[in-house]
Structure 1
Amino acid sequence: MTTTAPVSFDIAALLPDGTHLIAGEWVPARSKAVLEVINPATGALLARVPRGTAEDIDDAVRAAEQALSAWRDTSPAVRGELLYRWAELVREHDDDINRLEAMEVGHPVGPSPIAARLTYLAGKADKVLGNTLPTRSPDMLGLTLREPYGVVGAIIPWNAPGPMTVFNTAAPIAAGNTVVLKPAEDAPLTALYLARLAQEAGIPPGVLNVVTGYGNEAGAALPAHPGIRKMSFTGSPATGTAVMEACARNLIPLQLELGGKSPQIVLPDADLTKAVPAIVRSIVMNSGQVCAAGSRVLVHPSLHDQLVTEVTDAFRTVRVGLWDQPVDMGPLINARQEKRVLDYLAIGREEGAEVVVGGGKLAGEPYENGYFVEPTLFDQVRPEMRIAQEEIFGPVLSVLTYEDEEEAVAIANGTRYGLTAAVWTQDIGRAVRLARRVQAGQIAVNTLGDGGPGGAIGAPFGGYKHSGFGRSMGTDYLEDWTQVKCVVINAG
């Protein structure tokens, strides 16, 4: 691959070094300890952030509690205006945000949905409605109010810190809650920069607090804090279980998104000119580190050879490199994730799957200092194999075959996950049947965007089974951050 000189980018100009945001102030951790944020493509130090602990989480929760009363009583229209201003600032600084996220995550610079999603949520702020209730007497009035929970917490992963920050803070803020956000230790910079822009937009001190640190320190302290009234978590099932246990001890509700093993069902009449590019894009986007990645292709034998050939040819043209280069795919996030993916490549071979293309770590310039793994296609995969059952979270695609629609549905539903799925066919009747029968929170027919169904504005996102529960970004998403109060007035 031909490379050019890296783009110069000054992170220190965007963020105060070694600080996170509590009560509107950029402060170090109570312990003064820091974490190093590393560029996964080069191994270079990007920045240092606080190594927050339970003490910092407590400070942030107390700041959110102090800000709650005034923010809860702020007009929803005003809350919406402030979110609009936040969205405007995100648009103004879109280039900085995209580059910052690309550097800390490792993916190529590309278009971001952040400003659009913020604008959407801003427009919903004054449209959270209650109901009037029938009464037994004309002298009585019954109604419901939707009120914020109070101080809420969010823990987000490293694979898409920009969108995840917005999804997990803007909606609860719009609904009148105050928020404590704990970003992933591998990629906290985008979240901190978005919080800085929220400050500049006029969102009051304490409404949005960001505490950086390790998951087993700051992260574990957040759902365990008695001041938190609701949580959202996106990450692995194992960590999600721990978060859920902490929430259960405090009797607070929780929204979970825990990954997937998404099937792409290719029927005999599928248009491969549309299906193959989408299948490839879904698994190489962000190096396969996407919860909605279509990591299993279920293909009828009549199309098997053609599909494998075309996907193989497409994989061989995938450009892999640094974030500031014209590439399609970057590195994995860290050495631990690289080892995980490489271990699964070995497991697939041991189980008897055939490596058609890829299958190893990239070497030489410019890969030697980063965590680069080849886009890999496994063929002859059986449904019970681990590479067909477990979320790899890397650029690894498995091809399985089925004989009829019943078997396709059984294989598609035959994992513990149920996040997204895709169906490729020109028979709308079969598409409707499969869309109803496949167990997933989102079904795409002849389309795929951002790793999952694309094209629908305000589409809810969330999973079945071990992929979690609750939905984000739907038309009623703000209501999920409110609780219902019934009021009955006797005026007689």
Structure 2
Amino acid sequence: MTITENTTGRPTLDSSLVVDGAMLIGGDWVPSSSGDTIDVINPATVELLARVPRGTADDVEAAVQAAERAFPAWRDLPATVRANLLFAWANLIEQHNAELDQIESQEVGRPSWGPPPMAGQLRFIAGQADKVQGVSLPTYSPEQVGFTLREPYGVVGAIIPWNAPGPMFATEVGAAIAAGNTIVIKPAEDAPLTPLALAKLALEAGIPPGVINVVTGYGGEAGAAIPAHPRIRRMGFTGSPQTGAAVMEACAKNLIPLHLELGGKSPQVVFADADLDAAVPAMVQGITLNTGQICAAGSRVVVQRSIHDELVERLAAEMRQVRVGAWHESVNMGPLISARQHERVLGYIDLGREAGAEVVTGGGVPSGYDRGFFVEPTLFAGVSADMRIAQEEIFGPVLSVIAVDDETEAVEVANGTDYGLVASVWTRDVGTAVRMSRKLQAGQVGVNNALGAGVIGGPFGGYKNSGFGRTMGADSVLDWTQVKTVSMRGAVPPAPRTPLRAEQAQD
């Protein structure tokens, strides 16, 4: 793979894993039915990376038909065969790790994170494929047996966001097809290239045509057509609460189940006994990783007042050390994904200033970055819990510090938003950790951990407006199945014949 910088309007992404101007339907790389395309831009240089089809409802219909044709044979494959195909897919991904990392780094704008996680994700999922089991049920008669079967839904749909397109694609697609479903998935128009590359590797691994269909396009067009399609039987969506509500409304019209992951405003609760040497670097990394464009980002620091000033000073010093630049440079943080996101984040910084919060560091565009969608890591102090910067998901490297007096107030502030995805607690006291772990309204709680992560197979999902349903856990494949109860009775023996009396026989 080579990177070519130019301003000629030609695509600069050179990768055999991406078919320029094409999406995957039924095993074929095809343009959109309209012939229109969408430019995918490198957010660091604002140069054209590639073009992808601007899919329509007609393209979604074609993808659903392809998935329907593929479903019976895929469903009827032994689970071990499906698992082996996912293992083969994971192996191919691992062989292309460096190229996949570069593709995603360029389209998202982030610095390299090292080997991508998709191969490991798929191996974890593949290990669950042949663990889809029913249960035996008690019966009223010894002549009957009762049991449950877990069966795939059929053709399912998914919509994923742009901030981590590779891992999101592996999570949704892997679990859905491991259960025996076939899928139609739409990646975000800002970052569709890594999903397309992963789909190409899936075909090369032997996953049959039509099992995975990738329709690119805008959310209001191709995206809206998937949950609205009457033959989609289950949906997965990750994105904003506003779009999630629209997806849920479309699913409700067709009475199909779904899971939603809708972002967060994650609190990091810091008590006076916290190990700040460990907490400060982790908190700064948590808000600057992927330029803060992570649903689990710890964007609110809720700190005991007695250490407020020290913590603010140390956070500011650490944030000033964050190196900003393009993906291929030796930096800690890249640009935001798009001009729209750039405007949004800078707008929230202005809102914080207008509300009376103090910008301790950052607060604008870094010097020397006239091109690209760069913003400085920004720290606000003097933030009250009701400010918009403390209530709304900014999805950028903006950290707000809120002072509290005690544990009771800390719980109130931490839980005082519409979100409930991730929460962190920083303390040396086990009792405090236990109480906070129980009281925090979040799907994931990390103790002395900025992102609430660090475990293998931890179910991921949210409380409140952060959505419902869980992914990535040991039940992730089961969640793409439906339960059938079977009651079975053996053949009823014929009633014994009554012997004839002598006089009946004579007649």
TM-score, structure 1 as length reference? 0.97
Cα deviation for residue 454 of structure 1 reads 1.9
Deviation digits for residues 285-340 of structure 1 (CA, Å, limit 9, x no counterpart)? 00000000000001111111111111111111100000001110000000000000
Instruction: Report what 1:187 is aligned to.
Output: 191
Instruction: Report what 1:214 is aligned to.
Output: 218
Deviation digits for residues 50-102 of structure 1 (CA, Å, limit 9, x no counterpart)? 00000000000010011000000000000000000000001000001100000
The answer as to whether partners of 2:3 and 2:13 remain within 8 angstroms in 1 is no
Cα deviation for residue 456 of structure 1 reads 1.2
Instruction: Report what 1:133 is aligned to.
Output: 137
- The counterpart of 2:262, out of the listed 258, 275, 279, is 258
Deviation digits for residues 237-288 of structure 1 (CA, Å, limit 9, x no counterpart)? 1100100000000000010000000000001100001110110000000000
The answer as to whether partners of 1:61 and 1:227 remain within 8 angstroms in 2 is yes
1:473 paired to 2:488:
no
Cα deviation for residue 369 of structure 1 reads 1.3
1:81 paired to 2:84:
yes
Instruction: Report what 2:324 is aligned to.
Output: 320
- The counterpart of 2:228, out of the listed 221, 224, 228, is 224
Aligned partner of 1:484: which letter?
A: V
Q: Distance in 2 between matches of 1:421 and 1:202?
A: 41
Deviation digits for residues 11-45 of structure 1 (CA, Å, limit 9, x no counterpart)? 34322210000000001111111110000000000
> What SS does the aligned partner of 1:41 have?
coil
The answer as to whether partners of 1:260 and 1:292 remain within 8 angstroms in 2 is yes
Q: Which runs of 5+ in 1 are unaligned?
A: none
Instruction: Report what 2:498 is aligned to.
Output: none
Instruction: Report what 1:411 is aligned to.
Output: 413
- The counterpart of 2:422, out of the listed 417, 420, 423, is 420
Aligned partner of 1:84: which letter?
A: F
Q: Which runs of 5+ in 2 are unaligned?
A: 6-11, 493-507
Q: Distance in 2 between matches of 1:15 and 1:430?
A: 50
Instruction: Report what 1:372 is aligned to.
Output: 374
Instruction: Report what 2:392 is aligned to.
Output: 390
Q: Distance in 2 between matches of 1:13 and 1:465?
A: 42
Aligned partner of 2:391: which letter?
A: Q
Count of aligned pairs between the two proteins: 483
Cα deviation for residue 461 of structure 1 reads 0.3
Aligned partner of 1:93: which letter?
A: H
1:17-166 paired onto structure 2 within 5 Å: 17-111=20-114, 112-166=116-170
Q: Distance in 1 between matches of 2:313 and 2:454?
A: 29
The answer as to whether partners of 1:330 and 1:372 remain within 8 angstroms in 2 is yes
Q: Distance in 1 between matches of 2:176 and 2:269?
A: 36
Q: Distance in 2 between matches of 1:102 and 1:214?
A: 21
Aligned partner of 1:332: which letter?
A: L
> What SS does the aligned partner of 1:328 have?
coil
> What SS does the aligned partner of 2:477 have?
helix
Aligned partner of 2:305: which letter?
A: P
The answer as to whether partners of 1:292 and 1:420 remain within 8 angstroms in 2 is yes
Deviation digits for residues 110-134 of structure 1 (CA, Å, limit 9, x no counterpart)? 1321111111001111001100001
> What SS does the aligned partner of 1:457 have?
coil
Aligned partner of 1:266: which letter?
A: V
Q: Distance in 1 between matches of 2:53 and 2:123?
A: 30
Cα deviation for residue 453 of structure 1 reads 1.8
Instruction: Report what 2:179 is aligned to.
Output: 175
- The counterpart of 2:253, out of the listed 249, 252, 259, is 249
Describe the shift of the 1:473–1:351 C-alpha distance in structure 2 as closer, same or farther (beyond 3 A).
same
1:423-434 paired onto structure 2 within 5 Å: 423-434=425-436
Instruction: Report what 2:303 is aligned to.
Output: 299
The answer as to whether partners of 1:61 and 1:180 remain within 8 angstroms in 2 is yes
Instruction: Report what 1:239 is aligned to.
Output: 243
Describe the shift of the 1:346–1:116 C-alpha distance in structure 2 as closer, same or farther (beyond 3 A).
same
Q: Distance in 2 between matches of 1:146 and 1:193?
A: 31
Deviation digits for residues 345-392 of structure 1 (CA, Å, limit 9, x no counterpart)? 10000000000000001232xx22100000000000000000000000
Instruction: Report what 1:341 is aligned to.
Output: 345
Aligned partner of 1:370: which letter?
A: G
- The counterpart of 2:334, out of the listed 330, 333, 349, is 330
Q: Distance in 1 between matches of 2:482 and 2:326?
A: 45
Q: Distance in 2 between matches of 1:227 and 1:41?
A: 40
The answer as to whether partners of 1:11 and 1:100 remain within 8 angstroms in 2 is no
Q: Distance in 1 between matches of 2:403 and 2:454?
A: 29
* Identity of matched residues, %: 62
The answer as to whether partners of 1:271 and 1:425 remain within 8 angstroms in 2 is yes
Q: Distance in 1 between matches of 2:290 and 2:125?
A: 25
- The counterpart of 2:277, out of the listed 267, 273, 285, is 273
> What SS does the aligned partner of 1:477 have?
coil
> What SS does the aligned partner of 1:90 have?
helix
TM-score, structure 2 as length reference? 0.94
- What is the RMSD computed on CA atoms of the aligned residues? 1.2
Q: Distance in 2 between matches of 1:261 and 1:471?
A: 18
Q: Distance in 2 between matches of 1:238 and 1:455?
A: 30
Cα deviation for residue 108 of structure 1 reads 0.3
The answer as to whether partners of 1:20 and 1:192 remain within 8 angstroms in 2 is yes
The answer as to whether partners of 1:22 and 1:60 remain within 8 angstroms in 2 is yes
Q: Distance in 1 between matches of 2:410 and 2:366?
A: 34
